C-alpha cells in the first residue's frame, strides 16, 4: 500500500529540516520528473506547451521546459506574471536558456498544466476557467503538474477542471486526486521523487492506496480439509430473489465451503446453493439486505441477525431501515456496504443529521472517516468510482473499479464475496479490502466490452485471478 496525504507541505518542511534540502532542490527534482514525462510523449518534430502559473507550480513547469529546451521543441505560456520568488527565478533561468515564450495559447502536441497544483486556495475566476476550457478542447496529450488545475486545497472543486491524460504529482499521493468527481480528470497518476526515496520522504498516514499485488486470495493450501473447513455463509433472501442468488454465487465462487439461502419460499437455484428456512447451526457469517422489499418481517429478521454472535454483512434495503440502529447498538462485528444514497440513510439514522447524496459525494473522505471513528467495530465499504473502505479512522482506497461494474447486481456479488472471506477466517477489515480488490480486478479479466458485462461475469472472472 502507498500512503496518501491530505497535504504534503509538512513532508516538504521535513525534507528541509531533517535532510538538509531546500525548496529549490525539491523544485529541480519536480521539474526533472515532469520533463521526463513530457519527453516520453514527444517525437523530434512535436511541440510541447507549458502553461505556467504565478507560483511554485508554475516554476516546476518552467524548470521542465528549461531541461527539455535544446533537444525538444518547447514553449512557455504565462497567462499571468510570476509572483513567487522561485517562479521569478526559474523564469529568468528559462529565458537565459532561450526557452521561447508565447503570448497566446498556441497549438501543440503536448500540453502541460502547471497553473496551480496544490496551491489553489479559491475557486477559479472566469478568465482562468475559459483558459482551462480552451486547453481541454485541444487535441493533444495533456499532463497535469502535481494535480489538475481547478482543485481547491480544501478538497473542493472549481466549476472547471483541467482534464489530464496523466498527472505527475510531486513527492507523494494527494487525497484530492482520488475524489470521485476527478476520476475522468486525473488520468494515470505517477509520483515524482523530490530528491529523496519515497520511503524517506513519507510519514505515516491514515489514508492508503490499495495495490493489486496486495490481493490476498483464499487459496487452498491445506490438504487435510473438507467443506466445513472453509466456512458456511448464510444469505437472507428477499422478494427480489435474484439479489440473494447473486450474493450466494459470489460467496461460493470466492471459496466458501457452504452457502445457504435463507427464506420460506423455495426457489430455483444452482445446485451448489442450499436453501433453508432457519439459520444453519454451523453458520460462520450472515449476509443480509440485498433483495429485501419493505415492509418485511422485522421481528423474524431482528431475531435472525441479533440472537447470535455471528458477524454480519449488511447491504441495500437494510441501510434504509430503523433496524440499522439496533444492529449498530448491538456492537456485533459488522460490515456495511452502502452506495452513497444508502449511506445517506445510515448517516441520518446514526448521526441524526440529514445529509444529501451530493454532500456525501463532495466530502466522501470526511464522512467515511468520521463514521468509522464513531463506530470503531464497523467496517464501512462506501461504493463509488473509487471505493473507500473505512475502519477506525483509516481509509483504504480502491481505484481499480471499472464502468463495467455499473450494473445492478454487482454489489450483491461483492457482499457475498466479503461474507465468503469472513467465513474463511479473514478479519472483517481484511475480508472487505481483499473482496473489494478481487471484485474490481475480476472485472478486468474478461475481454468482453464494458457494456455487456454482467454480475455473473464477475464470478467467472474470479476463476482467472
Which residues are annotated binding-site positions? 56-60, 113, 117-123, 146, 149
Take residue 240 and report the three cell numbers written for it: 427480489
Q: Are 327 and 305 in contact (CB under 8 A)?
A: yes
Residue with cell 534540502: 21
Residue 273's alpha-carbon distances to 267, 299, 385, 435, 439, in angstroms, are 11, 26, 31, 20, 20
Say which residues have a Cβ less than 8 Å from residue 256's Cβ, sequence separation at least 6. Answer: 230, 231, 232, 233, 419, 420, 423, 424
Q: How far apart are CA 250 and CA 405, in angstroms?
A: 14
- Strand order across the beta sheet in which 110-114 lies: 101-102, 73-77, 47-52, 110-114, 141-145, 166-170, 188-192
Q: How far apart are CA 209 and CA 441, in angstroms?
A: 15
3-state helix, strand, coil in the chain (%, to 5): 40, 20, 40
Phi-psi region of 365 (alpha: psi -120 to 50; beta: other; left: phi over 0): alpha
Phi-psi region of 314 (alpha: psi -120 to 50; beta: other; left: phi over 0): beta
Say which residues have a Cβ less than 8 Å from residue 235's Cβ, sequence separation at least 6. Answer: 244, 247, 248, 251, 259, 260, 261, 262, 286, 287, 288, 416, 419
Q: How far apart are CA 94 and CA 24, in angstroms?
A: 15
Residue 207's alpha-carbon distances to 67, 265, 360, in angstroms, are 34, 45, 18
Residue 105 exposed, middle or buried by CB count within 10 Å (0-12, 13-18, 19+):
middle
Helix (H, G, I), strand (E, B) or coil at 285: strand
Residues making up the annotated binding site for (6S)-NADPHX are 56-60, 117-123, 146
Rg of the chain in Å (alpha carbons):
26
Residue 367's alpha-carbon distances to 207, 356, 371, 407, 414, in angstroms, are 14, 12, 6, 25, 22
DSSP H/E element including 143: strand 141-145
Residues making up the annotated binding site for K(+) are 57, 113, 149
Largest CA distance in the chain: 82
Q: How far apart are CA 447 and CA 336, in angstroms?
A: 31
Amino acid at each position: 500500500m502507498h500512503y496518501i496525504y491530505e497535504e504534503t507541505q509538512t513532508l516538504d518542511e521535513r525534507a528541509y529540516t531533517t535532510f538538509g534540502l531546500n525548496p529549490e532542490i525539491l523544485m529541480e527534482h519536480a521539474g526533472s520528473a515532469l520533463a521526463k514525462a513530457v519527453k516520453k510523449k514527444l517525437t523530434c518534430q512535436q511541440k510541447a506547451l507549458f502553461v505556467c502559473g504565478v507560483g511554485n507550480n508554475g516554476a516546476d513547469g518552467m524548470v521542465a521546459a528549461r531541461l527539455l529546451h535544446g533537444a525538444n521543441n518547447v514553449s512557455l505560456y504565462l497567462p499571468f506574471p510570476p509572483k513567487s520568488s522561485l517562479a521569478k527565478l526559474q523564469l529568468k533561468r528559462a529565458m537565459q536558456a532561450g526557452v521561447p515564450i508565447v503570448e497566446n495559447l498556441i497549438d501543440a502536441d503536448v500540453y502541460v498544466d502547471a497553473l496551480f497544483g496544490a496551491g489553489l486556495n479559491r475557486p477559479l475566476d472566469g478568465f482562468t476557467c475559459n483558459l482551462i476550457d480552451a486547453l481541454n478542447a485541444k487535441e493533444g496529450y495533456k499532463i497535469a503538474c502535481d494535480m489538475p488545475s481547478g482543485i481547491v486545497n480544501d478538497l473542493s472543486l472549481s466549476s472547471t477542471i483541467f482534464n489530464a491524460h496523466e498527472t505527475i504529482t510531486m513527492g507523494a499521493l494527494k487525497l484530492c486526486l482520488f475524489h470521485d468527481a476527478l476520476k475522468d480528470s486525473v488520468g494515470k497518476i505517477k509520483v515524482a521523487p523530490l530528491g529523496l526515496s519515497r520511503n524517506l520522504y513519507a510519514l505515516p498516514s491514515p489514508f492508503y492506496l490499495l495495490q493489486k499485488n496486495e490481493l490476498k486470495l483464499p487459496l487452498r493450501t491445506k490438504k487435510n480439509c473438507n467443506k466445513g473447513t472453509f466456512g458456511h455463509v448464510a444469505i437472507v433472501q428477499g422478494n427480489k430473489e435474484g439479489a440473494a442468488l447473486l450474493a450466494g454465487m459470489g460467496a461460493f465462487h470466492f471459496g466458501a465451503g457452504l452457502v445457504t439461502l435463507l427464506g420460506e419460499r423455495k426457489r430455483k437455484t444452482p445446485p451448489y446453493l442450499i436453501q433453508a428456512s432457519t439459520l444453519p447451526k454451523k453458520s460462520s457469517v450472515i449476509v443480509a439486505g440485498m433483495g429485501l422489499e419493505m415492509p418485511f418481517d422485522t421481528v423474524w429478521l431482528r431475531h435472525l441477525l441479533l440472537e447470535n454472535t455471528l458477524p454480519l454483512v449488511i447491504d441495500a434495503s437494510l441501510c434504509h431501515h430503523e433496524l440499522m440502529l439496533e444492529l449498530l447498538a448491538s456492537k456485533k462485528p459488522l460490515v456495511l456496504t452502502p452506495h452513497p444514497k444508502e449511506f445517506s440513510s445510515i448517516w441520518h439514522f446514526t448521526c441524526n443529521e440529514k445529509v444529501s447524496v451530493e454532500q456525501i459525494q463532495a466530502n466522501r473522505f470526511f464522512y467515511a472517516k468520521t463514521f468509522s471513528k464513531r463506530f470503531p467495530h464497523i467496517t464501512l465499504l462506501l461504493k463509488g468510482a473509487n471505493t473507500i473502505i473505512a475502519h477506525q479512522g483509516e481509509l483504504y482506497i480502491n481505484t481499480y473499479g471499472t464502468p463495467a461494474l455499473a450494473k445492478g447486481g454487482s454489489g450483491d456479488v461483492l457482499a457475498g464475496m466479503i461474507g465468503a472471506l469472513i467465513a474463511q477466517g479473514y478479519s472483517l477489515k481484511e475480508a472487505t479490502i481483499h473482496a473489494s480488490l478481487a471484485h474490481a480486478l475480476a472485472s478486468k479479466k474478461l475481454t468482453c466490452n464494458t457494456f455487456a458485462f454482467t454480475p455473473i461475469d464477475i464470478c467467472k472472472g474470479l476463476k482467472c485471478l
